[in-house]
Chains A and B, each alone.
Chain A
Amino acid sequence: AQTVTQSQPEMSVQEAETVTLSCTYDTSESNYYLFWYKQPPSRQMILVIRQEAYKQQNATENRFSVNFQKAAKSFSLKISDSQLGDTAMYFCAFMSYLGGTSYGKLTFGQGTILTVHP
């Protein structure tokens, strides 16, 4: 079974600065998918960014980018130019590729609470 570990329960950053959230995972599979989801206070969880394991190029979405290190099984999220609206809990998640039987199941990490200070 896969496991996902987020070792930083809480982090804080000043507005306009850059912050990196860490995520490591454990799997014996060679092909899989990784995600970062954001859960703002009292609001619904939304997808931030996703990465296919067989693609070496790191995914980027505006101010959000990832550092995917497949050999190290590491998938960190970098938020540039942090904004007050980035305050949320962030979850790292893993999805297997099993030739049609994964049904899109996700395994989540424990979450990191990020607070952006003005």
Chain B
Amino acid sequence: DVKVTQSSRYLVKRTGEKVFLECVQDMDHENMFWYRQDPGLGLRLIYFSYDVKMKEKGDIPEGYSVSREKKERFSLILESASTNQTSMYLCASSLQGYMNEQYFGPGTRLTVT
């Protein structure tokens, strides 16, 4: 079974703090993704990576950065957390190629106060 894990289920941080969200997959997938999920907006892509040390901006990258030093691990970084980054963050991974299923982690609900 493919497994995607995220470092925390719930996280509370203060405005201005640096926040790290980590995602690990165990199926040797090339692609990894970070989304945020907000009511009425669905999932929006923040960043994705198609190989180690490779990253591409998604639709809403502002205020975020990512790191992929190892194939199985993809980190999302909020350099200076703001209240408008309070959201559910979902990580996903998939094999390279078309029509491949994305496998999702359980999500991290981040609250910035």
Residues of A within 8 A of B (CB): 4, 6, 9, 33, 43-47, 50, 52, 91, 95, 97, 102-111
User: Which residues in B have some Cβ–Cβ distance to A below 8 Å?
Assistant: 4, 31, 33, 35, 40-45, 48, 50, 56, 58, 90, 92, 94-102, 104-107
Give CA–CA (A6, B39) in the complex, Å: 13
> CA separation between A108 and B96, bound complex, in Å?
19
Contacts of B92 on A, CB cut-off 8 Å? 45
* Chain B positions within 8 Å of A50 at CB level: 99, 101
Q: Pick 19 A–B contacts, CB within 8 A, sort by A.
A: A4-B42, A9-B40, A33-B98, A33-B99, A44-B4, A44-B105, A45-B92, A45-B104, A95-B99, A97-B98, A103-B56, A104-B97, A104-B100, A105-B33, A105-B45, A105-B48, A106-B45, A106-B102, A108-B44
Number of inter-chain CB pairs below 8 Å: 57
The residue from B94, B96, B104 contacting A46, defined by CB atoms under 8 A apart = B104
A110, B48: Cβ atoms under 8 Å? no
Q: Which residues of A contact B48 (CB under 8 A)?
A: 103, 105
**B45 contacts A109, CB within 8 Å?**
no
Is A110 touching B40 in the complex (CB atoms < 8 A)? Answer: yes
Assess the B102–A104 pair: CB atoms within 8 A. yes
Which residues of chain A are near B101, meaning CB under 8 Å? 47, 50
Q: Report whether B43 and A108 are in contact in the complex, using a CB–CB cutoff of 8 Å.
A: yes
Among A4, A43, A104, the residue within 8 A (CB) of B98 is A104
By a CB distance below 8 angstroms, the chain B residues around A4 are: 42
B residues in contact with A6, CB < 8 Å: 42
What residues of chain B lie closer than 8 Å to A97, measured between beta carbons?
A: 98
Closest 9 CB pairs of A and B: A45-B104, A108-B43, A108-B42, A110-B42, A103-B50, A47-B101, A33-B99, A104-B94, A104-B31
Docked complex Cα distance between A45 and B107 (Å):
9
